[in-house]
Amino acid sequence: MILHDLISYDLLRVIWWVLLGVLLIGFAMTDGFDMGTGALLPFVAKTDTERRVVINTVGPVWEGNQVWFILGGGAIFAAWPPLYAVSFSGFYLAMFIVLAAFIVRPVAFKYRSKRPSPAWRSAWDWALFAGGAVPALIFGVAVGNVLHGVPFHLTPSLMPIYEGSFWGLLNPFALLTGVVSVSMLIMHGAAWLNLKTEGRIQSRARRFGTTAGAVAIIGYAVAGAWMALMIDGYALVNAVAVDGPSNPLLSEVSKGGSWMASYSARPWIIAAPIMGFAGMLMALRGLTSGGEATTLLWSKLGILGVVSSVGLTMFPFILPSSTEPNSSLTVWDASSSHLTLFVMLVATLIFMPLILMYTSWVYSVLWGKVTEDDVNANGETLY
């Protein structure tokens, strides 16, 4: 027996669908509080010392957290090539803006304190704000468009043709999901600052985080109702060979009805939105009552629930086509080969535990609050 036959093709496809979700959720949980902290920077910190405190809560960890984004992009490229081709071409300008924000952010970290000029430092502070708020908004808008369906089709030779425009991505539902994304990550950033700072910064973070959390909860509820009542769902019409070739055109897809039919077919997935609401509500409660570590954990649970609810609701679809439903990409027909998925899984089983152990060690070493005394006493070694 060939080694990779030990795990069936259909199971490998599901495993990599789950792993892609894990990478995206890991990115939202870790780099999410970095982005939320950046978006809060001009508002929770009023003096230069206060802003240095805020920056130094994320300065030592943001690079490691951003690795989850790189891993997610790499997983899409290697495990789901058609998804990579359609999303990175159709969302090209949006992705360019995200990458520009991610390029500006490290430059701002490195250059902000190189000169004492208030104008110089203020400019880089707003660059950090943009580096946090802009990607958070665009990621949310992207999720809204995926739920709505993306205007593309596949030629008989499986070449993707994107038929939309950048401005077409800014539809009302996508803008709502963008607001949910931004507010949720601002709440997450506030939960992080609540844990890592004290005094006035902590107080302001709690206040802004409470408002953002309320917006996230209300927005998530409205988006769910909107999706149930006004957004067409997608469904497979014919029986699909789950271990067949990666050719989306072999599937017949219908557009209509509601995405909520998934909850009738798989009632257990209701656990995801329940976690989303419960996590955000408890994080909101923690921000108002003064809880610290538990508030951040509840915020992470909320992110887990919100992000996983999208994937579980759409399964087996990973990128529906709004203009040609039969070109929609699913878990069963848009993956790499059996051997490729197996080799990637072996590499993941080796390296993922090492990444998690190293990340845990870093956070344990950096445990504790960042104070104004810290940045004043270590001016040359901190951001």
- Of 72 and 305, the one with more pLDDT: 305
Residue 2: the pLDDT is 65
| The pLDDT of residue 171 | 92
- Inside any domain, residue 291: no
Residue 355 lies in a domain: yes
Q: For the chain, what is the mean pLDDT?
A: 91
> What is the percent of the chain where pLDDT is above 90?
66
pLDDT over 70 (residue 1): no
Cβ atoms of residues 144 and 231 within 8 Å: no
Selected residue with higher pLDDT from 239 and 10: 10
Structure-model confidence comparison of residues 269 and 363, the more confident one:
269
Is 46 domain-assigned? yes
Cα 164 from Cα 285, distance rounded (Å): 42
Query: What is the percent of the chain where pLDDT is above 70?
Result: 98
Structural domain count of the chain: 1
Q: What pLDDT, on the 0 to 100 scale, is given for residue 71? A: 87
Can you tell me the mean pLDDT for 70-95? 88
Q: Would 239 be classed as within a structural domain?
A: no
Q: Is 104 helix (H, G, I), strand (E, B) or coil?
A: helix
Nearest to 47 by CA among 201, 275, 243: 201
* pLDDT at 138 (0 to 100): 94
Q: What secondary structure letter does DSSP report for 244? A: S
CA dist 335 and 45 (Å) reads 46
Number of other residues whose CB lies within 10 A of the CB of residue 338: 18
Does residue 326 fall inside a structural domain? no
Residue 310 forms part of a structural domain: no
Tokens of 211: 């408002």
Answer yes or no: is 243 within a domain: no
How does residue 23 score in pLDDT terms, banded at 50, 70 and 90?
very high
140 pLDDT band (50/70/90 cuts)? Answer: very high
194 domain residue, yes or no: yes
pLDDT given for residue 300 in this prediction: 96
Residue 190 is part of which domain span? Answer: 7-231+336-377
pLDDT of residue 3: 63
Give the pLDDT of residue 269.
96
In the structure, what pLDDT confidence band is assigned to residue 104 with cuts at 50, 70 and 90? very high
Instruction: Express each pLDDT in 203-221 by its tens digit.
Output: 999 999 999 999 999 999 9
Q: What is the pLDDT of residues 146-191, one digit of tens each?
A: 999 999 999 998 888 888 888 888 899 999 999 999 999 999 999 9
Q: Tell me, what's the pLDDT at 381?
A: 61
> Sorting pLDDT into bands at 50, 70 and 90, what band is 366?
confident
Angle between the 271-289 and 199-230 helix axes, to the nearest 10 degrees? 150
- On whether the CB atoms of residues 171 and 245 are closer than 8 A, the answer is no
pLDDT in tens, 251-273: 899 988 889 999 999 999 999 99
